[in-house]
Structure 1
Amino acid sequence: MRMFVTIALLAVATPALAFETVTPPAEATTALERAPKEGEVLRDTSARIVGKVYKVQASGNLLAIVNRETVRIPASTLSIVNGKLVTTLSKSEALKQK
């Protein structure tokens, strides 16, 4: 009898799991043309150098070296323009991201 109840519960739960949809986080929907690379120069929208990419995190955020300090640059501020990595943050705004 227990086995019958277990099988019945699994049969009811399985279709419900099959139709479950997962929505990706907002940051994941803004995909770049290509992935940023460690050591790549990070520029602002005026093409001025902000810093250098130290590490690319799994979430898409970057750790960058700006004025000898490590700062986190959100993925939502990044784009690729003419093959170069660009952020909407200025150097001073990036330094406040600690």
Structure 2
Amino acid sequence: MTIRQYGDEGASMHLHVMRIFFLTEYIMSRFLLSLLVLATVTSITPATAQDTATAVAVMPKVGQVLRDASGRRLGAIERIQDGAVMVIMDMHMYRIPTNTLSLNDKGLQTSLKRADLR
């Protein structure tokens, strides 16, 4: 039997079935997309998430004191430019990349040693 044999009710039923089909397809595609996003987010290791949080939290400011890897005072930040902070030490300007900076109980610290800067 075809839709024509059922008349208007058959055509109406056919449209209803098609709507349900497309709605189900839409819901399934959204569900699969959600699962993909969830799988991607949960695949990030806790260490990576922690490193990212630390990197985002460090916002150096001009005048802030910077310490080296051993905790010794390097100097105050004079300038911030192009992903680095500029510090004057022993009458020389040193460029220290911001990706080496972290905050701890002593304040702003770089992972570089004083000897690495020279």
Please give the TM-score of this superposition, normalised by the length of structure 1: 0.57
Residue among 88, 97, 100 paired with 1:77: 100
> In the alignment, residue 67 of structure 1 is paired with which amino acid?
D
For residues 114 and 102 of structure 2, what CA distance do their matches in structure 1 show? 16
Identity %: 38
Q: Which has the larger radius of gyration?
A: 2
Instruction: State how many pairs are aligned.
Output: 66
Q: Structure 1: where are the runs of 5+ without partners? A: 1-28
**Does residue 67 of structure 1 match 2:67?**
no
Q: CA RMSD in A?
A: 2.0
Report the equivalent of 1:36: 60
Q: Structure 2: where are the runs of 5+ without partners? A: 1-51
Q: Which stretches of structure 1, 4 residues or more, deviate above 4 A after TM superposition?
A: none
For residues 105 and 56 of structure 2, what CA distance do their matches in structure 1 show? 12
Structure with greater contact order relative to length (CA < 8 Å, sep ≥ 6): 1
For residues 67 and 33 of structure 1, what CA distance do their matches in structure 2 show? 29
Asked whether the equivalents of residues 50 and 90 of structure 1 are also in contact (C-alpha less than 8 Å), the reply is no
Q: CA deviation at 1:61?
A: 1.0
